[in-house]
Amino acid sequence: MACFFRRKIAAKLAKTLQQSEDVFVPALTAAPVLKKHQSADFRMSPETLRINGILPSSGDLQLQTENLAAQLKPDSVVEEISVRQGWIYFKLNRSLLAEKLLEPFGKGENDNFGLNSEFFETLKRGTILVEFSSPNIAKKFHAGHLRSTIIGNFIANLKQSLGNNVIRMNYLGDWGMQFGLLGAGFSRFGCTEKLKENPLQHLFEVYVQVNKEAEHSEDIKLAARDFFRQLEQHENQAMSLWQQFREITVKEYQHVYKRLGIHFDVFSGESFHQAQTQEVVRELQSRGLLKTSEKGTGVVDLSPNGDMSNICTVLRSDGTTLYITRDIAAAISRKEKYCFDDMIYVTDKSQENHFNQLFQILRTMGNSWAERCRHVSFGLVQGMKTRTGEVVFLEDVLDEARARMLHNMNQSNTTKELDNPDDTAEKVGISALIVQDFKGPLQSDYKFDWDLMLQAQGDTGVFLQYTHARLCSLMQRNEGMEAAAFNPSCLCERTGVDILQQLLRYDEVLYQSDQDLQPKHLVSFLLKLSRFVASAHRELPVKGSPPDVAQARLRLFSAARSVLASGMRILGITPVQKM
């Protein structure tokens, strides 16, 4: 309901400056909630009005600001208008603020709070394909793939919540020379019985061993090239072994995704586009884009002056394809099959050049839709270890997060009796992993810290879960009371208004997140909301208060719980009811 107030203020500005309301709505933003004193609710910088030609671009800006503020008169919606540090601030009628903001929560419309804002009317909605996670088959799920998995899931959740049709794609690394090595290695070191007992562990051991041997053995390198050539030519025996490796891997990965609460609409892979790479090569040739380098490789010249100073290799000298060749084929195939409006790739920042080259080649081939392709990159996690030492596999991290969280819960005096403590510890542990990962800019590397991550107080996923569970408990203890008549004038205390002002920002936070696809805005918003809830829980008791006061406070806490749960789900966190 923040849009109700934006419209009222915009109408006041429109009348004064003889302009359309619509030009003022984007310029009005929720004011920061200040600790020292109760702040105004919205603010506007007249500088933006200058930029848009609404105010004269010359003259003293501070004087223009003060003159404009003096022309705007308070009314039943806006109680106070002030100027501070180049901004015009608008303080709303407190009772009306509570009434309008909490109205949806009395009508059972709480799930869509903030999501139907007119802020989003300017956004283009459509079909968005998000490619994320994308581990390599025949290997256990490496912890290094955690970031792509949870960031991609956040982006997919966000886009879907804002009304887009989202296709979640897992593009498996299931083709390439490494499978030549694995195939050659399995014929030497593989064991069918071990493959049945612990498939991915055994394949990992074979891969490590064959790589070690290949460093000193030309025979193994030749055998690997031969096996991959057999795959490229779809020879039965090689294909059968490769298919077995792929099916084993996908089955194992599904278990990890289930633990993370993540699903995919499509499990694709490089292998799906192997046949189409020849069409790509033919089109590059027909357009005169494919050149032969001195080494005999097939390259595309991406240099501005056509002097081969910036080339991208798309064919080996023996004619076999590379990762980027398959990526070109995959992008073209996806556009034909899914008719996406936008496609987002989520990988680490070491692949930035790869995607720049991919998008440039697609554009050069005449695919204007490549402008709608985007690479969301991220930094590295440093120091991710378990108690046993350097971590390699994601399941080790999830197991450790659950075990540590279970230990902390058992040590805490506030832990409730739970039906399934392991499941709660799993969900809270995963939320701790996600929040630690999402607190900063995605492109930054960050240091993994078990102790900081699992703190019950502080900026952690544990604190978010604890706040949500505490609010659930409060609602359960007072079930039935919320249905009574709601008196918004009972919510005039500072701590209650802090929550209302924070809720006022929710649509802006989602809009900002949609613009730059950074989860840090939503994490920061939810942590701040949780801190306001903690203060209000101490200072605004429900039990023992007069009925109308108790009911109003319960409505406020119900709204906070609903928005907290909504934001957590967008981040990819499953809120717990009790902990």
Q: Which residues pair with 312 in a beta bridge?
A: 300
Locate the DSSP E strands across 45-138. Answer: 78-84, 87-92, 127-131
Q: What is the DSSP string of 470-534?
A: HHHHHHHHTTTGGGS---GGG--SHHHHHHHHHHHTHHHHHHHHHHH--THHHHHHHHHHHHHHH
Cα 222 to chain center, whole Å?
A: 43
Distance in angstroms (rounded) separating the CA atoms of residues 232 and 226: 10
8-state DSSP, 21: G
Tokens standing for 93?
A: 């009628």
Active site residues: 139, 142, 145
Question: Confidence band (pLDDT; 50, 70, 90) for 127?
Answer: very high
Distance in angstroms (rounded) separating the CA atoms of residues 31 and 9: 14
**What pLDDT, on the 0 to 100 scale, is given for residue 386?**
66
CB atoms within 10 A of CB 157: 19
**What pLDDT, on the 0 to 100 scale, is given for residue 465?**
97
CB atoms within 10 A of CB 397: 23
Closest CA to 86 of 61, 49, 60: 61
Lowest mean pLDDT among 7-11, 75-79, 408-412, 483-487: 483-487
Distance in angstroms (rounded) separating the CA atoms of residues 576 and 465: 6
Q: In sequence order, which residues have a C-beta less than 8 Å from that of residue 294 and are 6 or more positions away?
A: none
pLDDT digits (tens, 9 = 90+) for 211-264: 899 989 999 999 999 999 899 888 999 999 999 999 988 888 999 999 999 999
User: pTM here?
Assistant: 0.93
Distance in angstroms (rounded) separating the CA atoms of residues 429 and 399: 9
pLDDT digits (tens, 9 = 90+) for 77-97: 999 999 999 999 999 999 999
Find out whether 268 and 172 touch, Cβ atoms under 8 Å: yes
Tokens standing for 55?
A: 């105010």
**What pLDDT, on the 0 to 100 scale, is given for residue 414?**
77
Question: Confidence band (pLDDT; 50, 70, 90) for 305?
Answer: confident
Specify the residue for token string 């909490």.
Answer: 102
Structural domains of the chain, with CATH: 2-92 (3.30.1360.70), 127-273+338-382 (3.40.50.620), 391-571 (1.10.730.10)
